């Protein structure tokens, strides 16, 4: 029987020893073994995606070191024009509560507008595209000064 555990804490249930990898299926699809394994989020009109917003994003449970994984805050950095084209993808910068003081990390303190609960470092070297199905909760909006700092680090890191 497949030993992979689903997001709800139950086993996949496939009796096959050659169960396919459990990747996030697209909206309302099931994984190859038949069980809906990944929570699907539908972003409503009032929760439209906007550059500069902070969302909790589920980056999965099996990272390749040193990639980030698990559920964590992330900043949407993709252009708003891409969000209105039904691409179902956004570009995000994941965050961590571990403050290392690296030059590619921008530390943001919590305030009433951003929804963060502790000082958070945005890891610009971890920039990635994710499915909108991985966005679980809107936390808030990052202040303009912090967004400009992250934009500047991204420009330098990506030679833009």
Q: Where are the domains of the chain?
A: 1-40, 45-157
Judging by beta carbons within 10 Å of its beta carbon (0-12, 13-18, 19+), is residue 142 exposed, middle or buried? Answer: buried
Residues 94-144: pLDDT tens digits? 999 999 989 999 999 999 999 999 999 999 999 999 999 999 999 999 999
- Which CATH code for domain 45-157? 2.30.30.110
Residues 32-66: pLDDT tens digits? 444 434 444 455 544 689 999 999 999 877 666 66
| Cα–Cα distance, 15 to 1 (Å, whole number) | 4
Give the model's pLDDT for residue 33.
Answer: 47
């Amino acid at each position: 029987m497949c030993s992979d555990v689903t997001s709800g804490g139950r086993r996949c249930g496939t009796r096959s020893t050659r169960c396919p990898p459990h990747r996030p299926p697209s909206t309302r699809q099931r994984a190859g073994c038949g069980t809906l394994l990944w929570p699907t989020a539908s972003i409503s009109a009032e929760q439209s995606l906007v550059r500069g917003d902070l969302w909790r994003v589920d980056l999965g449970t099996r990272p390749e070191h040193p990639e980030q994984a698990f559920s964590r805050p992330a900043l949407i950095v993709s252009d708003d024009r891409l969000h209105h084209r039904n691409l179902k993808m956004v570009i995000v910068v994941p965050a961590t509560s571990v403050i290392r003081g690296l030059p590619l990390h921008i530390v943001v303190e919590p305030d009433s507008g951003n929804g963060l609960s502790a000082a958070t470092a945005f890891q610009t070297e971890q920039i990635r595209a994710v499915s909108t199905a991985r966005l679980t909760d809107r936390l808030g909006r990052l202040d303009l000064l912090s967004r400009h700092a992250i934009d500047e680090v991204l420009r330098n890191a990506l030679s833009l």
